[in-house]
Amino acid sequence: MKLKIGITCYPTVGGSGIIATELGKLLADKGHEIHFISSSLPFRLNKVYSNIYFHEVEVNQYSVFKYPPYDLALASKMADVVKREKLDLLHVHYAIPHAVCAYLAKQMVGGDLKIVTTLHGTDITVLGYDPSLTDLIRFGIEESDIVTAVSQSLVQQTYDVIEPKKEIKTVYNFVDQKVYYKRNVDELKKQYGIKADEKVVIHVSNFRKVKRVEDVIRAFYFVQQKIASKLLLVGDGPELTVVCRMINELGIEDKVLLLGKQENVAELYSISDLKLLLSEKESFGLVLIEAMACGVPTIGTKIGGIPEVIDEGVNGFLCEVGDIEYIAKKSVEILSNSSMHAEMSRNAVKSISKKFNTERIVNQYEDLYHTIINK
Ligand code: GMT
């Protein structure tokens, strides 16, 4: 049965926006009609699809309000689109504000609109600890017809912190192996001035404090003393200035390439030998599976959903937050042992095909939609 689905996410660069947009595109490929309702065009929606529509939420700055009313403008737009386009369901990413906006839209239109909410992390792991918001988050969750979270760890944390009386299902993030695969990019390596025999370590994030990019620099400092290597830092964010200062203080400016925000990261992963994600909070770690799909072994912290992605000793290693010595030791091990590297690289791709491939995950969402629509 073909469905008419409204999708709301934060459309800026970030894991939740990527997942929401890619999911919409894949559902459209399967014949569903998709309506993105968000404050700007999701950045991955970069070509025309005949069954994908975009409805912009315009938030005006009225002088009588101290803050622009995004949530109300969104709820109102959702109600408008649901009524006009006769949507079957709204799939919203983030409990607050989006699940609560969807609830409000449902009250406005009446009828049998269904709400699916996906939790990505920050609404639970940060906002969930603000007592003034806990009841509202619980309300958004309990008023949804279906709630999913991107890892078992996030499901558990939601029960621990928010205590909702609602089943929450784990639906992992996914990566498109038609886009994320290892290509031959020796020329690109050359263009970056990286010698053929130099190893490449990569970190990709939005450089927020939780990502602990300083730990990446500290660990790499030891690695480059043992192994001829370069560090690629991809992304931008509030910690970049601190990170740059640290690189200068350690005198490794010539070993670190600051690439800023990049779109085609698959090519950068293709020249990389190791990926580091050393966050102190991470409900899943979408960047890990993007790297793994390109055959890059990973080292990640033993927190949140990361242990559900990295199989210890199989496709990478897990470490304690801030254990620089151990991270450096394991990095050197992977980079210097070519047979171990080759095996982990193969296993990384296998893990994606088995656990995190698009077809598997998109089917899971589709099945969930059908369970509520057929009720
Ligand atoms: O990591 C971020 O700062 C961005 C954030 C987002 O809202 O996009 O990412 C969250 O959702 C991603 C997609 O589900 C997950 O892969 C990230 O692990 C999660 N980030 C955190 O939990 C910190």
pLDDT in tens, 267-312: 999 999 999 999 999 999 999 999 999 999 999 999 999 999 999 9
For ligand 1, is residue 33 a contact (CB within 6 Å)? no
Q: Does residue 137 lie in a domain region?
A: yes
Among 12, 118, 120, 207, residue to substitute to test ligand 1 (most atoms within 8 Å of Cβ): 120
237 Cβ closer than 6 Å to some ligand 1 atom: no
Instruction: Identify whether 85 is part of a domain.
Output: yes
For residues 305 and 282, is the Cβ–Cβ distance under 8 A?
yes
Cα separation of 285 and 304, whole Å? 9
The dihedral formed by the CA atoms of 292, 295, 300 and 304, expressed in degrees to the nearest 10: 10
Are 222 and 121 in a shared domain? no
Report CA(190)–ligand 1 centroid distance (Å): 32
Sign of CA dihedral 220, 225, 226, 227: positive
Is 53 contained in some domain?
Answer: yes
Q: Which residues, in sequence order, are CB contacts of 16 under 8 Å at separation 6+? A: 9, 10, 93, 94, 118, 120
Residue 328 φ/ψ, nearest 5 degrees:
-65, -40
Same domain membership, residue 246 and residue 326: yes
Ligand 1 atom closest to residue 150's alpha carbon, by position in its atom list: 14
Distance CA 374, CA 251 (A): 62
Q: Are residues 246 and 324 in the same domain?
A: yes
Q: Is residue 179 part of a domain?
A: no
CATH code for the domain of 23:
3.40.50.2000
Give the whole-angstrom CA distance, residue 293 versus residue 354: 11
Q: Where are the alpha helices (DSSP H) in 202-336?
A: 213-226, 240-250, 265-270, 286-293, 306-309, 324-336
Residue 37, phi then psi, degrees to nearest 5: -120, 100
For residues 237, 241, 242, 243, the Cα torsion angle rounded to the nearest 10 degrees is 70
Type and span of the H or E element at 86: none
> Nearest CA to 141 among 100, 190, 179?
100
Does the residue 340 lie in any domain? yes
**pLDDT for residue 44:** 78
Q: How many CA atoms lie within 13 A of 6 on its CB side?
A: 31
Residue 126 clears pLDDT 80, i.e. is over it: no
Residue closest to 356 by CA, chosen among 298, 300, 302, 287: 287
Is 2 within 8 Å of 334 (Cβ atoms)? no
Q: What percent of the chain has a predicted confidence (pLDDT) above 90?
A: 85
> Average pLDDT in the 112-135 region?
85
Question: Is the domain of 332 the same as that of 232?
Answer: yes
Residue nearest to atom 7 of ligand 1 (CA): 16
**What is the 207 CA–ligand 1 centroid distance (Å)?**
12
Residue 228 pLDDT > 80:
yes
Q: Which residues contact 320 (CB under 8 A, 6 or more apart)?
A: 301, 302, 326
Q: How far is the CA of 212 from the centre of ligand 1 (A)?
A: 14
- Ligand 1 and 173: CB distance under 6 A: yes
> Does a structural domain hold residue 180?
no
CA 17 / ligand 1 centre spacing (Å): 9
Q: What is the pLDDT of residue 132?
A: 83
Buried b (16+ CB within 10 A) or exposed e, 267-297: ebbbbbbbbbbbbebbbbbbbbbbbbbbbbb
Q: Would the pLDDT of 120 be above 90?
A: yes
- Predicted local distance difference test score (pLDDT) of residue 218: 98
**Assigned domain for 166 exists:** yes
- Say what the pLDDT of residue 375 is: 61
Q: Which H or E element spans position 256?
A: strand 256-260
What pLDDT is attached to residue 61? 74
Q: Are 167 and 309 in the same domain?
A: no
Tens of pLDDT, residue by residue over 200-216, are 999 999 999 999 999 99
Angle at 203 (CA atoms; ends 342, 285), nearest 5 degrees: 85
- The per-residue pLDDT of the chain, averaged, comes to 94
150 and 213 inside one domain:
no
Nearest partner of 192 among 257, 247, 270, judged by Cα: 257
The answer to the question of residue 181 being in a domain is no
Instruction: Compare 313 and 112 and report the one with higher pLDDT.
Output: 313
Atom of ligand 1 nearest to the CA of 286: 16
The pLDDT of 230-246, averaged and rounded, is 97
149 and 82, same structural domain? yes
Domain that holds residue 208: 186-355
Domain count, the chain: 2
Which residues sit opposite 109 in a β-bridge? none
Q: Are residues 209 and 270 in the same domain?
A: yes
Same domain, 250 and 338: yes
**Domain check: are 346 and 365 in the same one?**
no
Residues 50 and 158 in one domain: yes
ipTM: 0.98
In short, whether 140's Cβ falls inside 6 Å of ligand 1 is: no
Any atom of ligand 1 within 6 Å of the Cβ of 122: yes
Q: How many Å apart are CA 172 and CA 188, to the nearest integer? A: 32
Residues 117 and 235 in one domain: no
- pLDDT tops 90 at residue 265: yes
pLDDT tens for 331-370 read 999 999 999 999 999 999 999 999 999 999 999 999 999 9
Q: What is the edge-to-edge ordering of all strands in the sheet holding 4-8? A: 52-56, 33-38, 4-8, 89-93, 114-119, 146-149, 168-170
Pocket perturbation via mutation, ligand 1, pick of 154, 284, 290, 308 by most ligand atoms within 8 A of CB: 284
39-89 pLDDT, tens digit per residue, is 888 877 777 889 999 999 998 777 777 777 899 999 999 999 999 999 999
Sign of the C-alpha dihedral, residues 158, 160, 166, 167?
Answer: positive
Is residue 129 over pLDDT 80?
A: no
